[in-house]
Amino acid sequence: MSKIHVTATVNGDPVEFLADPRETLLDALRNHLDLTGTKEGCGTGDCGACSVTVDGTLVCSCLMLAAEANGKRVETIEGMARDGLHPLQRKFIEHAALQCGFCTPGILVAAKALLERNPDPSETEIRYWLAGNLCRCTGYDKIVRAVQDAAAEMRQDHRGAA
């Protein structure tokens, strides 16, 4: 079976790799680009551990073929901390919103995608948006509080910069 040449922008950097036609984006990120922050939890799109954004849309990378990323802009958990910790990452630490950390990259990517669309989400909106991300270790209250706190900080920073 012939490989497919994929050219994309991942975390702001141009990348190229050869992918098997049936290879998922998750596997390509981990195996070809050494971006191992994105995790495989279920392989069926039910847990959210593999969440990334593709052209600004939140996707389960275990359900997307690597070839579908050709010409696209992909953002992973590694892209969040390019210039120091993102406010969401800091607030997750401050609020102890993680335990084992397996689900945390997917939750952070999903929360960032939410805040990019809605900088002032209600608690209900946060819970709804993160419903596709399963965490078996912690309750979701600390996660929701961390997202609320990060959103408030980011709004304040945005107002201060304006």
Q: Which domains, ranges and CATH numbers included, belong to the chain?
A: 4-80 (3.10.20.30), 87-161 (1.10.150.120)
The pLDDT-based confidence of 153 (bands split at 50, 70, 90) is very high
Task: Classify each residue of 35-59 as buried b or exposed e, where b means 16 or more C-beta atoms within 10 Å of its C-beta.
Answer: bebbbbbeeebebbbbbbbbeeebb
The pLDDT value given to residue 136: 87
The pLDDT value given to residue 67: 98
Phi-psi region of 84 (alpha: psi -120 to 50; beta: other; left: phi over 0): left
Residue 157 to residue 162: CA distance in whole angstroms: 9
The pLDDT value given to residue 160: 74
Does the pLDDT at position 41 exceed 90? yes
Average pLDDT over residues 136-161: 90
Residue whose C-alpha is closest to residue 90's, from 40, 155, 154, 158? 154
The pLDDT value given to residue 139: 81
Does the pLDDT at position 1 exceed 90? no
The pLDDT-based confidence of 82 (bands split at 50, 70, 90) is confident
Average pLDDT over residues 77-96: 95
The pLDDT-based confidence of 137 (bands split at 50, 70, 90) is confident
H-helix or E-strand containing 54?
A: strand 51-54
Does the pLDDT at position 159 exceed 90? no
The pLDDT value given to residue 162: 62
Q: Residue 29, SS3? A: helix
> What is the number of other CB atoms lying within 10 angstroms of the CB of residue 66?
25
Average pLDDT over residues 127-146: 93
Say what the pTM is: 0.94
| Alpha helices (H) along 96-136 | 104-117, 123-129
